[in-house]
Amino acid sequence: MEFGPHLMLASLEGAVIAAILSLTAMGLSIVFGVMRVVNVAHGEFFMLGAVLAWYVTSALGGHPALGFVAALLIVPVLVAAIAATADRLILKRINYDADRTIVGTIGILYIIQQTTLMTFGPDARPVEAPFNTRLSLPWFEFGENGFAMFWPWGLSTTSYKLFVIAAAVVILLGLWMVITRTKIGLVMRATQQDSEMAQAFGVPVGTVYSLVFGLGAGLAALGAVLVVPIQQAHYLMGHDPLLLSFIVVIIGGLGSLPGTIVAAILIGMSDGIISVFFSPTIAKIIATLLVAMVLVFRPQGLLGKTAP
């Protein structure tokens, strides 16, 4: 393949990564924005989403689309419920103290991960995509016969990957509507701005916290259900999404939701493109170092305005 089609293929892969990443990172960003805590167990909620999706689809059987739709509806709610319970049992008791929350969520991380290892096992298991037609993509070139369209060998994508990108856009739009147009969103924003004042105005801050923690985990799980037909479910799969979400949230500015989306697209696309053209280890080294440097010299993030 020539450079042009190759780049297009890499961008498509990058767009899929960016779509999943924006959902996962959005979950982390909302939790940080409203509750001011860093949820280290976020990647495990992602993993839990993928693993539960496997359980749901394999329990239902029948046509893959049936199981997939069921997983898409059931799994995020289930994961959100688990997260909200963890919030009630652990985070609420330590008063959302920033340092202790980190230690506590590290504990939750190991509990979820190791429980999955004991029940689900160490194998990676696939979930079948509901539809997976291979689509060849055209490429335009200005040749001797004028402007011509042709189908280079290997330049193709699947209908499912395009669906993932579309689904992420729809979900994020829906989330934006909820936050800006509904009463729940209003209460969330009030708690974010000043939790004590919100409490004084009768907002049940404790319930809002549980809800937000559940919502954050649910978004990660949703991303995982979408990605599991492309990438298999495995008990250690939460590590990379966690690190990437951290990077996205930091680059986008802690607590800034539009910043998170922009950064997710930036990081996801460049991750896809860089890993096609360069050695993945060196790309990761540069990425992690860059993020550390951004935090050191611009703690409010690239797009954030005020320091947290």
Using CB under 8 A as the binding rule, whether residue 194 contacts other proteins is answered as no
Mark the segment that binds other proteins (CB under 8 A) among 114-122, 147-155, 186-194, 201-209.
Answer: 114-122
Using CB under 8 A as the binding rule, whether residue 45 contacts other proteins is answered as no
- Apex CA 270: angle with CA 229 and CA 297, to 5°? 125
x/- letters, 211..250, toward other proteins (CB under 8 A): --------------------------------x--x---x
Using CB under 8 A as the binding rule, whether residue 98 contacts other proteins is answered as yes
Nearer to other proteins, 78 or 251 (CB): 251
Q: CB of 39: closest distance to other proteins in angstroms?
A: 11
Nearer to other proteins, 229 or 259 (CB): 259
* Sole binder of other proteins in the list 117, 173, 177, 186 (CB under 8 A): 117
x/- letters, 272..301, toward other proteins (CB under 8 A): ---------xx-xx--xx-xxx-xxx-x--
Interface size with other proteins, residues (CB under 8 A): 38
* Sole binder of other proteins in the list 69, 90, 179, 262 (CB under 8 A): 90
3-state secondary structure the chain: CCHHHHHHHHHHHHHHHHHHHHHHHHHHHHHHHHHCCCCCCHHHHHHHHHHHHHHHHHHHCCCHHHHHHHHHHHHHHHHHHHHHHHHHHHHCCCCCCHHHHHHHHHHHHHHHHHHHHHHCCCCCECCCCCCCCEEECCEEEEECCEEEEECCCCCEEEHHHHHHHHHHHHHHHHHHHHHHHCHHHHHHHHHHHCHHHHHHCCCCHHHHHHHHHHHHHHHHHHHHHHHCCCCCECCCCCHHHHHHHHHHHHHHCCCCHHHHHHHHHHHHHHHHHHHHHCCHHHHHHHHHHHHHHHHHHCCCCCCCCCCC
Mark the segment that binds other proteins (CB under 8 A) among 17-25, 100-108, 127-135, 194-202.
Answer: 100-108
Q: Residue for token digits 């330049």?
A: 155
CB 94 within 8 A of CB 31: no
Using CB under 8 A as the binding rule, whether residue 148 contacts other proteins is answered as no
Nearer to other proteins, 161 or 234 (CB): 234
Paired sense of beta strands 134-136 and 156-158, if any: antiparallel
* Sole binder of other proteins in the list 104, 218, 252, 253 (CB under 8 A): 104
Using CB under 8 A as the binding rule, whether residue 65 contacts other proteins is answered as no
Q: CB of 144: closest distance to other proteins in angstroms?
A: 46
Cα(102)–Cα(121) distance, rounded to whole angstroms? 27
Q: CB of 12: closest distance to other proteins in angstroms?
A: 26
Q: CB of 276: closest distance to other proteins in angstroms?
A: 19
Using CB under 8 A as the binding rule, whether residue 206 contacts other proteins is answered as no
**What are the distances in angstroms from CA 266 to CA 21, 178, 287?**
10, 25, 12
Using CB under 8 A as the binding rule, whether residue 160 contacts other proteins is answered as no
* Sole binder of other proteins in the list 66, 81, 103, 173 (CB under 8 A): 103
Rg of the chain over CA atoms, in angstroms? 20
Using CB under 8 A as the binding rule, whether residue 118 contacts other proteins is answered as yes
Interface positions with other proteins (CB under 8 A)? 38, 90, 93-94, 98-100, 102-104, 106-115, 117-118, 243, 246, 250, 281-282, 284-285, 288-289, 291-293, 295-297, 299
